[in-house]
Amino acid sequence: MRKVVIAEDDRIIRRGLLETIPWEENGISIVGDAGDGEVALELVAKEQPAIIISDIRMPFMSGLEMAKQVNKKNPYTKIIFLTGYQDFKYAQEAVKLNAFDFLLKPIDSDLLLEKVKKAGDEWAAEIARERTIMKSLPLLQEKFLKQLIENDNETIDIENELKELNILLEGPCFLAVLIYVSPENNEDIDTVKAELEIFLSERNGALLQKSLNNFALFLSAEEEGLFVISDLFHRIKGRIAGKVTITLGRQYENLFEIKKSFMESYLAMELRYILGEGKLYSIEDATLEAEENNSNLRGLEQKLERQIKMGLPKEVILTLNELDFVSRKQMLPLQEIKIFSIKYSTILFNEIEKWKKTAVDSSIFELYQSIAELETLNEIKSSLIILVEEWANSMEQNEENSLNSLVDQAISYLQSNYHQAGLTLQRVADVVHVSAPYLSNLFKAEKGFNFGDYLIKLRMEKAMEILRRIDVKSYEVAESVGYSNPQYFSTCFKKYTGYTPREYQSQFQYNNS
């Protein structure tokens, strides 16, 4: 049975609706009726009906105001408004409130019954779809987090992926946090999840569960991001018998860069095998801890950093041999050398990425995991030397080929083809052999502006050049810069320059006369 609440201040009409329509025979249960919006709202909160039949104008609280309140708490509830001719002006507002339908008084009983049955069917379909999504959400979340970790030369449209998981972050900065629980009892996991939900109820963000004891937070971060996570860490730590480890990535200003924050948080979490569980840290904290406890390595670190910055791979290999000698002579703990190697494998990967001008693939994560599992100094040194050799090869190839960046290639293509109608991000991405979301992200990261903004700027500047030829027509200019619709071109031109094409021509003519 579909539940229905009737709200109508006219008692005669309300009684007619209750008694003259065969509701029960059609699978509909009237669970309450009210003469004003306030009472109706209480009924809705208590009964959770699928459908509300409501007059638009009622005392104390109108049907429209009641509908606003219902939409906030029960977005799937269908509302059918009843209105007289004199109230028809309210119909437009009813439409804005996503009312299922509205009927004019006097009410046709058969028509109302038909509308209620259709509303009930739509309500049932939406509820079923929502339940299906909720059942599959944990799998979708796990798949998304796995993509972030294992992504290999495949770009992920982070913004769209987050929207599909119903994650809407407002900024101004974005941060990823990982939580790993080593429980002592079954209650520890539930306690941690409850604390995380309380934490999110107070701020803009989302919680994803990777596995039973692995959680990820995606947050809109402020400057005090580390402080609030520290508070969360100590709160959880004081409430469970087991251990909780929390790691943070860096804060970024662009939403698509939250992937970087997640990767950094993930790499930091992998270090729990070396640093121990029950701590709060980032990848920077981990390497800093190694620096503070490892005075014997400081000189080598400075030497390595200088050589890497200067682009001297052969010298780096010599310094790694020194590291091998010092480590054996001083009998440095293997754990400290692992932390050192993880830090410099990160730096080397960044250098490889810089010279190749492509994103680092998932092998970096495999490397971190393998370093954590290595048992000898020779194995650690060999893994770093492999990276140094790849870095050297990247520099050589870059010098030989002198290739432009992907964004530069895209800009070059735009400059040659701006006049073609239908020039889209996808088309340009196909030309430079990357995906459209990846190219869009590269534009933002490398140039500081969007693809679409650049294309408009390029076309408008070309149009301004053409318009300086006095005899040219506006529609001819539009066609020559890639606009098949002259009116749309004129609108874009005025928005960009403050003038219509004709005004711009006249202005230029005047300034040069």
Q: Give the DSSP letter string of 233-297.
A: HHHHHTT-SSEEEEEE---BSSGGGHHHHHHHHHHHHHTHHHH-SS-EEEHHHHHHHHHHT-HHH
Architecture category of domain 151-288 in CATH: 2-Layer Sandwich (3.30)
Edge-first strand listing for the sheet containing 243-248: 205-211, 214-221, 173-182, 243-248, 280-282
Stated pTM of the model: 0.41
Residue ranges of the chain assigned to CATH 3.40.50.2300: 2-128
- For 289-325, what is each residue's pLDDT tens digit? 545 445 556 777 788 888 887 778 888 888 888 877 7
Mean pLDDT, to the nearest integer, of 122-148?
71
Mean pLDDT value across residues 472-500: 88
Q: Which residue has the tokens 């650049």?
A: 454
Bond into 106 cis (ω within 30): yes
- CA torsion angle for 256, 261, 263, 266 (degrees, to 10)? -140
486 versus 310: which is more confidently predicted? 486
Q: What is the pLDDT of residue 293?
A: 45
> What's the confidence (pLDDT) of residue 96?
63
Q: List, by residue range, all CATH 3.30.70.270 domains of the chain.
A: 151-288
Helical segments of 151-252, H only: 158-164, 186-201, 225-237
3-state secondary structure of 213: coil
CA dihedral 454, 457, 459, 464 (to 10 degrees): -160
Does the pLDDT value for residue 98 go beyond 90?
Answer: no
Q: What is the pLDDT of residues 34-83, one digit of tens each?
A: 988 889 999 999 999 999 999 888 888 888 888 888 888 888 899 998 88
Tokens (6 digits) for 21: 């329509």
What is the residue whose two structure tokens read 């680092």?
360
Domain with CATH 1.10.10.60 in the chain: 406-511
d(CA 327, CA 329): 6
Q: For the domain bounded by 2-128, which CATH number is listed? A: 3.40.50.2300
Q: Which CATH architecture has domain 406-511?
A: Orthogonal Bundle (1.10)
Residues in the chain: 513
111 pLDDT more than 80: yes
